[in-house]
Chain A
Amino acid sequence: MATVKTHRKAPGLIALFVILAVAPLLAANAFHYDLMIKICLTAIVAVGLNLLVGYAGQVSLGHAAFYAGGAYASALLTQNYEFAPLPAMLTAAVAVGSLAWLVGRPILHLKGHYLSMATLGLGVIAAIVINNEDQITGGPDGLPVAPLSLFGHELSVFGSYEWFGMTITGTQLWYLLAAGALFLAVWLALNLIDSPLGRALRALHGSEIAAQVAGVDTAKYKLRVFVISAVYASVAGSLYAHYSGFITPDIASFGHSIELITIVVLGGMASTYGVILGAAILLLIPQFLTGFQELEMVLFGAILMAVMIFMPRGLVPTIARRFQKEAA
């Protein structure tokens, strides 16, 4: 009898850990750290969104709303209600998760493009509310956010900290935090995917009918993964708000939702490491294209099209497949 091969997660996680640990060596200045922090935070959203889109096969074109929800909730709770950042972040995650649960119930019955349309609609409505309620949200001019503090210690990007005799800048500390959060997010996602719940989610994508006859309440599971991915986005949004110190309604925009889904598809649907690469690429491309000035948009559009045409499964799955073929 053949032995059962179990999927091993350790090598991937170790590789991720090494990359995250080595990346600071590439950072020559605070700006490089800034980019890496943003990549980590965006990748957290992408990892969560990938659970919904890549694994469970339910497209959302409105996820920026949850990201913005986390960001604004954190900002407002710390500012107006004297919450400490950590409880604020948790409260925000619970609120955003509940909101996702509430709106997810009716719309997740929709299929295909209608689901895309409905999520798009929710996202745009959220953006309009944030934009219009300027008494609360600061409107289009944006809202300043207090720096993060953990257990009474303020973690300002601009600070400088003593750590075991080493001096470490606020930006570097923030990188550690963001990278740690990303690592945790990936670990949780990999656990989920490899669990019975994860199989049920993947079955939603593979064959909803098969899932049903196996006893999976598909509506309930869609809702669950929708909420999980919303909470991922919310936490990343909260972190971003504290990190950047200033948020505007742009983060809730349709364009940002599209950017998030593009990251998932570009990096590779149903590939947790793929979407991290997707986040890195999508955030770095504009930095590399600055030299091209006016050509930036054309090049970006062309790159996006070319990758998707020639690698329709996304970067990482396509490359992985090629390696496997060569090895075989």
Chain B
Amino acid sequence: MFSEFFQFSFSGITLGAIYALVALGFTLIYNASHVINFAQGEFLMIGGMGTVVLMDAGAPIYLAIPGAIVMAGIAGVLLHKLAIAPAKNADVVTLIIITIGASIFLRGLAQIFWGKDYHALPAFSDTESLSVGGAVLLTQSLWILGIATLLVVALGLFFTRTALGKALLATSMNKDAASMVGIKTGAILTLAFGIAALLGAVAGVIVAPITFTAYDIGIMLGLKGFIAAAIGGLGSSTGAILGGLLLGLAEAYTAGYISSDYKDAVPFVLILVILFFLPNGLLGSRAVERV
């Protein structure tokens, strides 16, 4: 009885941590530029597939992973420089379509150069799994949770302790004010895309041993990340993490206790219910419209 509960929880938290990382990427870009970046999932793909490709080319894993993450970072920076920044005065929907175009473009590139096959990365540690309370806990899950926590803490420190982080925060709060005090907001926005891409890529690498990776994994993971971000309230980092975990657990418990047939509908029902009562998500800011 309890062992099942533990099993569902482990699976839910592991998935949730990944969703949270994707959602954090969404939040970061949303805060900086009010763009919903539908290409966020592709950064996961670049992280995972990049590692696979570099390892196939002979690079050891400890070089392949950073290499792939850097690739994603560059993709993020380019995405902002080449696609988002030139269209800065466009309507929100237009920006959404641009990011959708970017995601199709990136997926297409990956398909041409990296192929269409699914790949498995080796787990980061040799021991496959541990037994906790009668349930199986994958060591890779521990890696995922550990790295996700580390990233969240690092991101927190970056925003509160570094000048760059504070500048990014200031830009997200009020772009005009930030540029008046001498912050180069354009560069800061590019930075936000870069960091979001790095976050996505790390998530893409750490899940690859469990979930496999391929040129098209970005669609589903990106969508889940968007849902998690919206559940938590767009723009709230804590909300993104909370939303991600909630989503992961909800999926695992539904599949485990209720029915796997409608498991996929659960995240969407969840978001509709939450938005019905809290139109700005769990922790989203309730802005008063000024007239």
Which A residues are closer than 8 A to B by beta carbons?
A: 53, 59, 106-107, 109-114, 116-118, 120-122, 124-125, 128-129, 132, 209, 254, 258, 261-262, 265-266, 269, 294-305, 308-309, 312-314
Contacts and interface: CB of A to CB of B under 8 A. Distances in A.
Interface stretch (B7-15, B90-98, B168-176, B194-202): B90-98
A121 B231 CA distance: 12
B19 to A, nearest CB: 14
A102 B163 CA distance: 50
A114 B101 contact: no
Given A124-B268, A128-B265, 20 more contacts: A59-B93, A112-B92, A113-B36, A113-B92, A114-B275, A117-B275, A118-B271, A122-B268, A124-B265, A297-B108, A298-B108, A298-B112, A301-B103, A304-B97, A308-B97, A309-B83, A309-B87, A312-B87, A312-B91, A313-B94
Given A114-B230, A114-B279, A265-B94, A122 B112 contact: no
B104 A300 contact: yes
Contacts of A266: 97
A306 B44 CA distance: 24
Nearest to A119: B272
A18 to B, nearest CB: 30
Contacts of B230: 113-114, 117
Given A297-B107, A305-B102, A308-B97, A111 B112 contact: no
Contacts, number: 129
B182 interface: no
Contacts of B281: 114
Given A106-B276, A121-B272, A124-B268, A305 B93 contact: no
Contacts of B267: 121
Given A114-B230, A114-B279, A301-B102, A262 B97 contact: yes
5 contacts: A117-B226, A121-B271, A128-B262, A297-B108, A312-B90
Nearest 4 A/B pairs, CB to CB: A301-B105, A297-B108, A304-B101, A301-B104
B180 interface: no
Nearest to B90: A312
B227 interface: yes
Contacts of A314: 94
Given A112-B92, A312-B87, A305 B101 contact: yes
B91 A302 contact: no
A46 to B, nearest CB: 14
Given A117-B226, A265-B93, A301 B271 contact: no
Contacts of A304: 97-98, 100-101, 104-105
A122 B90 CA distance: 27
Nearest to A124: B268
B108 A125 contact: no
Nearest to B235: A113
Contact of A269 (B91, B101, B105): B91
Contacts of A106: 272, 276
Nearest to A54: B93
- Scoring A118, A258, A261 by chain B CB atoms within 10 A of each residue's CB, the highest score goes to A118
